[in-house]
Amino acid sequence: MYNTVKMLHSSWAYLVLLVLVIAVVNSIIKKVGKKEYGAIDFRIALFALIVSHIQLLIGFILYFVSPRFSLFSESGMGEIMKSSVDRLYLVEHPLVNIIAIVLITIGYSKHKKKLISDAKFKTLSVFYTLALILFLSRIPWNTWL
């Protein structure tokens, strides 16, 4: 089960990054170009929200079925924090990515309340870009590619 969930989590991450990049680029281009916010923009933002939340659920499952999870009871938090690999997988990656998904959720919610297209695109640009940066900062690149 662990290997299947790990493969799903890694594969789904490509979709999350692709959709999030599309959402960021779309919002920046349309803000700079002073375009009107339309149904396609809403769908892109919503799809980024949905795929990132699905990734979060897959990540939670992976976290708790991971063989590394037993290190909490075997070694303790002090030993986990001494190991850069264990710290990445058990603390940094989950925590930073949860924060990124919270930013996506806040950005999506805030942009819906805006009445002007420029404000909608600005809100999406800021929150989704911050989330993208956080995602990219905690990907275990040496094992992912």
User: Mean pLDDT across the stretch 4-32?
Assistant: 96
Q: Enter the tokens of residue 99.
A: 């924060």
pLDDT class of 113 with cuts at 50, 70, 90: very high
How far the first Cα of the chain sits from its last, in Å, is 21
Which DSSP category does 66 fall into? Answer: S
Question: What pLDDT score was predicted for residue 25?
Answer: 98
Domain count, the chain: 1
Question: Where in the sequence is the domain holding 77, given as residue range(s)?
Answer: 2-144
pLDDT class of 67 with cuts at 50, 70, 90: confident
Q: Enter the tokens of residue 123.
A: 């809100």
pLDDT class of 80 with cuts at 50, 70, 90: confident
Question: What pLDDT score was predicted for residue 145?
Answer: 62
Please state, in angstroms and rounded to a whole number, the distance separating the CA atoms of residues 102 and 130: 11
Decide: 89 and 140 in contact? Cβ < 8 Å.
yes
Please state, in angstroms and rounded to a whole number, the distance separating the CA atoms of residues 125 and 131: 10
Give 27-45 pLDDT, tens digit per residue: 999 999 999 999 999 999 9
Q: Give the list of residues 6+ apart from residue 59 with CB closer than 8 angstroms, or none.
A: 9, 94, 97
Decide: 44 and 128 in contact? Cβ < 8 Å.
no
Q: What's the pTM?
A: 0.90
**Residue closest to 13 by CA, chosen among 139, 142, 128, 143:** 139
Q: Give the list of residues 6+ apart from residue 130 with CB closer than 8 angstroms, or none.
A: 100, 103
Residue type, 130: L
User: Mean pLDDT across the stretch 114-143?
Assistant: 93
